[in-house]
Amino acid sequence: MQQTGEPRSGERIRAIIIDDQHLFRLGLRLYLSQAMPEVEMIGEADSGRAGIALARAEQPDLVLIDASLPDPGTEELLTALREVAPQARLVLLVTSSGPEDLALAIRCRVDGCLPKVMESRQLVRALRDITNGKQWTPPEPTMRRLEELSPTPAGRVLPESAQPLTPRQLDVLRLVTRGLSNPEIARRLHIGNETVKSHLTLLLRKLGVRSRVQAAAYAVRNGLVET
């Protein structure tokens, strides 16, 4: 039986990179050529639109995508890639693993959401898991695997185990899910920082979670916020 993290025997994985930083593309390509000989880099693109054209022409097995490309936006880019190369495994490369990136990964059903700063050997293991059919996020306490975070229909109510949130707590939760900091939430809602902290503490307790990331994931998974 194939073991997790091992390359598929005899199979070549045709991959492309979509990232606007030349040095990052170069470094990733050179590293993977040594660490993952089963991966064949067949092309690179420095913009989302160029990446879509490249994926359409080459039909890769794996696409590594910078999460911050502006044109088109990341969500539009991922949707287009699904259309032009439906067989490809899509890996989102993020600069952080905060609520906003997590919500995007959930919404777009990517096959992997990996931080650019992750340790190199962990990157190889993650990519091998992904090319072997698994979904992957960093194994951190505040993150959950993407297959556990599939979107649910909008309007789903809180499970019986959770306590109802007040309208203000829902306002705070929506902004947390968008990746805003406490001071940003305070300015947006015209309340004090301490009030934001109080609302956040109470809503975490009510939802039965321990962090902002878990709260954002819970909100997306249970249809409490629009993503």
If one counts the domains in the chain, the total is 2
Please state, in angstroms and rounded to a whole number, the distance separating the CA atoms of residues 199 and 216: 14
**Mind giving me the DSSP string for 40-51?**
EEEEEESSHHHH
The partner residues of 93 in beta bridges, in order of sequence, read 66, 114
Q: Confidence band (pLDDT; 50, 70, 90) for 67?
A: confident
Kindly state whether residues 109 and 70 are assigned to the same domain.
yes
Q: Which residue segment(s) compose the domain that 175 sits in?
A: 167-221
36 Cβ contact partners less than 8 Å away, ≥ 6 residues apart? 7, 13, 124, 127, 128
| 27 and 130 fall within a common domain | yes
Last residue of a domain, one of 148, 177, 193: 148
In a domain, 67, yes or no: yes
Output the six-digit token pair for 216.
């954002």
| Predicted TM-score (pTM) of this structure | 0.60
Let me know whether 44 and 87 are in one domain: yes
Q: Would 7 be classed as within a structural domain?
A: no
Q: Quickly list DSSP for 116-164.
A: TTS-HHHHHHHHHHHHTT--B----TT---GGG-----TTPPPPTTSPP
Is residue 6 domain-resident?
Answer: no
Q: Look up the CATH number of the domain holding residue 197.
A: 1.10.10.10
CATH code, 91 = 3.40.50.2300
Q: What's the half-sphere exposure (Cβ side, CA atoms, 13 Å) at 145?
A: 8
Residues 119-144: tens digit of each pLDDT: 888 899 999 999 988 877 655 433 44
Cis before residue 72, ω within 30 degrees of 0? yes
Give the pLDDT confidence of 16-40 residue by residue, as tens digits.
999 999 999 999 999 999 999 999 9
Using the 3D structure, point to which of 120, 148, 176 is the last residue of a domain. Answer: 148
Tell whether 27 and 136 lie within a shared domain. yes
Average pLDDT, the chain: 79
Quote the pLDDT of residue 210: 79
